[in-house]
A and B are shown apart, each in its own frame.
Chain A
Amino acid sequence: MPDDVVDVLIIGAGASGAAVAWSLAETKMRIVCMEQGDWMDPAQYPSNHADWEVRRSDMHPSPNHRSRTADYPVNDDNSPIAILNYNAVGGSTILYSAHFPRFHPSDFAVRSLDGVADDWPISYHDLEPFFAMNDHNIGVSGLAGDTALPPHDPPLKHLPLGLMGEKMGKGFNQLGWHWWPSDTAIITEPWNGRGECLNLGPCNAGCAQGAKSSADIAYWPDAQRAGVELRTNCRIREITVDSNDMATGVIYYDADGNEQHQRAEVVIVACNGVGTPRLLLNSKSSAFPDGLANRSGLVGKNLMLHPWGAVEGTFDEPLASHFGPQGSCLLSQEFYETDESRGFVRGYNMQITRGNPPISTAIGGLTSGRIPWGKDHHNLFEKYFDRSVYLGICAEDLPEEHNEVVLDDEQKDSNGIPAPKINYTLSENSRRMLEHGLNSGVQAFEAAGAIEINKAPYPLRYAGWHLLGTARMGNDPERSVVNEWGRSHDVKNMFIVDGSVFVTSGGVNPTTTIQAVALYIADSIKRNLANLFD
């Protein structure tokens, strides 16, 4: 239907696309979302099978390893951190650990407070109602009273701490450090027709119970019921514009690989911090020879990835540490806020995660040399299995223009669309922060009584989970890509709602903040409907 014009076209059905679709549905506009992947079938997730540990490799977080038709390759050879994602309805939340800590008020004002990077044009206060709305929609579990954040009250009770959580808590107490059961996007009580977490374990391979609030189950059913149309297996090649710099729609490939055109009054991009700049850079025209909405030259620049550090502690007693949601237990934000005497600005979150199940313990031990084969195998396996705990360091990554997403000269996806290429180097500030974080991790394990402590080399390579900053928000069109409510400075009927718009990265996993920003932008669109393009 070449003349079929929809009111709103959302590109990408992941965390942010789902939230924006849900929010806009109440306008009763004609809203269509196009997603390059398909629906997941939870009955196929590994935890439906006795050999679930082996099957987890089918859900590798790197698109280059998976190479499914819905995936696009990412050339990350020029980055110490590999890009991780998932391409399906639900986006990367299909694989996420659902650790759900919010940004802090200071994260929005780093230039005013610390003289680095830039302030956001919006504040924690602006986002607060949208954090709460998202907590409710998603069903966030947690414990009110966290002293590292302004007061907020998660709707569901916190995940169990377990013996390992208690042990780590005691260690943090001995050091006089902050710790708290983390906010988690995993339901601990029945919520909105879904059953509570059963401790299936392998959250990063999809949740068969549906307790992990991935966007396909936590947002899309409600958005569809409210009238949003979701079209799967549609890969957008480019966004088209007219002579007035207004977006007219998209050119895409359908499931059979046929080129199609869809017209739209408003286009909303939600393809994540790598997919969004890739799409804009691929959308070249005479009006936008350097890529759509790129008159600032900042599309693809300032990529932030949260360089990651990891410490493992082993205890001398069984801790049931391999059961339960692996990525979410508790956190410490003792070193989140700036203290320049530490040798770096800004800070990091420490995330306590669970130990490995049997096969991963054994194979990890073989590769590291700690659990070799032969006569000592059983003794050494026993030493580590069920007694190991991990501490992850999520370091705030400051924006630097040379860290970027560009188009690759050679690699293309299955439709022949140029793939993204990553150029990224670790800054000196991040290096110092990670060194500090690793030493803090060692101290925490010592205080908790670990008998063996190992620091992993940093930054972890397979840790590019958080993709931020490549179409930043701001008031100045020369220094930003979108305005304070996500509208492109250059293309007045195009919005960006994913982590690309982040001005800074904070020091925590970003998805609750990504969804709060998406809901805030949707709310701004609704409030400005009468003069949306002025």
Chain B
Amino acid sequence: MSENITVNNQPFDEAELSMLNVLAGHIIPEDSERNLPSGSSVAFLDSLIENAPHTLSQLKDELIRIEQSTNGSFVNLPRSEQVQALTNLRIEQPDLLNRFAIHIYSCYYQDPRVLAHLGMEARAPFPKGYTDKILRGDLSLLDPVRNRGPIWRPAE
């Protein structure tokens, strides 16, 4: 693995990039029943480099750790063995990949396919807003409160 050789100005080499992709798919797996994509299919890399540069060196260390635990063959293992390797590592280090996971969550829940599944459009809230989403509400529910009468305490 050639260290820090950039692909399109990225601080990750190709092996690291393919590991990140596989890991993103473990963090949020595809769900075919719900027709939801996996974490690896959403755009996460550019914003990781741009918005979370302070997390990169820790992430690189974590990749090394994962590689070492699988004798340098993590991406080539069958999926079930990858899951097992990650589970074992997280028993020793429960916060392993948590910062990366936060980033994946944050990108995933902006993806238009995911938002559509949640009944939302991938757009700015303003100017259209969400005027049809909230019931005005049934004010007759307040009858018991009204019937009880005033509860405030006079002070004068």
Q: Using a CB–CB distance below 8 Å, which chain A residues touch chain B?
A: 45, 47-54, 104-106, 108-109, 112-113, 123-125, 143, 145, 147-150, 160-163, 165-166, 169-170, 172-173, 176, 178-181, 198-202, 208-209, 320, 323-324, 333-334, 337-338, 358-359, 362-363, 366, 373-375, 377-378, 385-386
Contact = CB atoms under 8 A, between A and B. Distances in A.
Interface string B118-138: 101011111111110111111
A374 B27 contact: yes
Contact of A149 (B34, B83, B136, B152): B152
Interface in B102-156: 102, 104-106, 108-110, 114-115, 118, 120, 122-131, 133-139, 141-142, 144-146, 148-156
B134 A324 contact: yes
Interface residues of B, number: 54
7 contacts: A53-B106, A53-B110, A123-B156, A161-B138, A166-B141, A358-B115, A377-B28
Contact of A163 (B29, B123, B135, B148): B135
B92 interface: no
B98 interface: yes
B125 A385 contact: no
B128 A198 contact: yes
Contact of B155 (A47, A124, A148, A377): A124
Contacts of A51: 110
A139 to B, nearest CB: 18
B98 A366 contact: yes
A178 B105 contact: no
Contact of A105 (B102, B125, B138, B152): B152
A149 B123 CA distance: 41
Contacts of B149: 147
Given A147-B149, A377-B29, A378-B34, 12 more contacts: A104-B153, A161-B137, A162-B135, A166-B135, A169-B137, A198-B131, A359-B109, A373-B27, A374-B26, A378-B28, A385-B118, A386-B118
A504 B51 CA distance: 44
Which of A48, A170, A378 has most B Cβ within 10 Å? A378
A361 to B, nearest CB: 8
B36 interface: yes
B3 interface: no
Contacts of B153: 104-106, 113, 337-338
A377 B152 CA distance: 47
B101 A373 contact: yes
Contact of B135 (A143, A160, A170, A173): A160
Contacts of B122: 50
Nearest to B112: A50
Contact of A363 (B106, B138, B139, B142): B106
A105 B134 contact: no
Contacts of A49: 124
Interface of B: 26-29, 31, 34, 36, 51, 83, 97-98, 101-102, 104-106, 108-110, 114-115, 118, 120, 122-131, 133-139, 141-142, 144-146, 148-156
A95 B50 CA distance: 27
Nearest to B115: A358
User: Chain A at the B interface: mostly helix, strand, loop or mixed?
Assistant: loop
A244 B51 CA distance: 57
Closest 7 CB pairs of A and B: A198-B129, A161-B137, A358-B109, A208-B126, A105-B155, A373-B27, A200-B125
Contacts of A165: 135, 137
Given A113-B153, A123-B156, A209-B127, A324 B133 contact: yes
A394 to B, nearest CB: 17
A363 B105 contact: yes
Given A147-B150, A166-B141, A333-B151, A105 B129 contact: no
Contacts of A108: 155
Nearest to A179: B145
B95 to A, nearest CB: 10
B124 A162 contact: no
B137 A200 contact: no
A199 B109 contact: no
Contacts of A53: 106, 109-110
Contacts of B152: 104-106, 147-150, 337
Given A337-B153, A366-B102, A320 B134 contact: yes
Contacts of A149: 152
B154 A145 contact: no
B31 A378 contact: yes
A286 B110 CA distance: 60
Nearest to A151: B150
B156 A162 contact: no
A394 B34 CA distance: 40
Contacts of B97: 373
Contacts of A176: 144, 148
Contacts of B135: 160-163, 165-166, 320
B133 A143 contact: no
A469 B125 CA distance: 38
A171 to B, nearest CB: 11
Contacts of B138: 161, 166
Which of B34, B106, B123 has most A Cβ within 10 Å? B106
Contacts of A160: 134-137
Contacts of B141: 166, 169-170, 173
Contacts of B137: 160-162, 165-166, 169, 181
A112 B154 CA distance: 12
